Homo-oligomer: A and B are copies of this chain.
Amino acid sequence: MATLRDVAQAAGVSPATASRALSAPDSVSSGRRFKVLEAAQRLGYQPNRSAQALASGRNRHLGLVLPDLANPYFATIAKGVQLEARESSNAVLVADTDEDPRREHDVVRELQTRVDGVVLCSPRMPEEQILECAARGPLVLVNREIEGIPSVTFDVASGMRQTLLHLRALDHRTIAYVGGPETSWSDRHRRRGLDSVAGITVIDLGPHRPVHAGGFAAADLALETGATAVVCFNDLVALGVVSRLQSRGVAIPSGMNVVGFDNIPGSTYVTPALTTVAVPLQRAGREAAMLLDPSLSPADAAPAQLRLDVELIIRESTAPLTPAP
């Protein structure tokens, strides 16, 4: 394998010049630059990443920690991180914590020994642990906000408000909300939108596991309340609600309206297709990765806290309460 020395020698310049020709082309006269590039090409030169990293103190590796790679929500964020990473010639180290918040802390620390910065999607890790991790190296939060740490979140309160306005316009007056994990930033902020619309009564069905199975129990509760629509913490839960309602013989939307959150791919595949709040997951991943780029964030600036807009997508699972005659 050809080294930089070989290239320099072949080009008749010093290793320093060869290095510069490759990484800071403008600081080398065009003649020599050309010779170096040509030699590198000819010898099939591939820089040794480890040596670069050791000498420069930077890896060009980004870390990404998330609860579950097989969850389309997180997978989509991961795609966004990848996309941005590739454009800034970084690589992404992904670590899945298997939904175990206790494991997250160790995973982050382990990753921090290997990367220049970490994107952390951790709905449940205790705040003080996150602060501790942030002290060890650059870190950006996704879907959660902590004072003093850069983050990318979604304006879910607005999403909730849009949802309620939509349902009210369809003549619904009593709706049920299937909550997510109690400790989640994301659920707290959805709830902030719950009382933002006059003329709608919201029945709180309490916290539920944010997965398909969580929707089963919730569906039965919803039916009991007399609500005409059920709004769910996320699409996975909403899908569970739909399944359960259908198997109990309740038609959607005629017997009950259902709204999800997130707009994961599965929300369009189900029948009826789910009305849901689209959150720009991939964009969030990109933005998070960008916030990690040191050249873009002067160290003295306040940590950026992005709040991305969301949009209600109306599909088949919501309809006027009483259809026109």
Which residues of A are in contact with B by a Cβ distance under 8 Å? 46-51, 53-54, 59, 61, 69-70, 72, 75-76, 78-79, 82, 86, 91-96, 110-111, 113-114, 212, 239-240, 243, 246-247, 265-266, 269-271
Contacts and interface: CB of A to CB of B under 8 A. Distances in A.
Given A92-B94, A266-B266, A266-B269, A69 B59 contact: no
A251 B220 CA distance: 25
A247 to B, nearest CB: 7
Q: How many copies does the complex hold?
A: 2
A15 to B, nearest CB: 16
From DSSP, what is the main secondary structure of chain A's interface residues? Answer: helix
9 contacts: A49-B53, A50-B50, A69-B75, A75-B75, A78-B96, A93-B94, A212-B269, A239-B269, A243-B271
Nearest to A264: B70
A99 to B, nearest CB: 11
A79 B97 CA distance: 10
Contacts of A82: 69, 94-96
Contacts of A91: 93, 95, 110-111, 114
Nearest to A58: B50
Nearest to A82: B96
Nearest to A76: B70
A185 to B, nearest CB: 23
Given A48-B54, A50-B50, A93 B96 contact: no
Contacts of A48: 54
A240 B269 contact: yes
A111 to B, nearest CB: 7
Contacts of A47: 113
Most chain B CB within 10 A, of A75, A95, A239, is at: A75
Nearest to A63: B91
Nearest to A64: B94
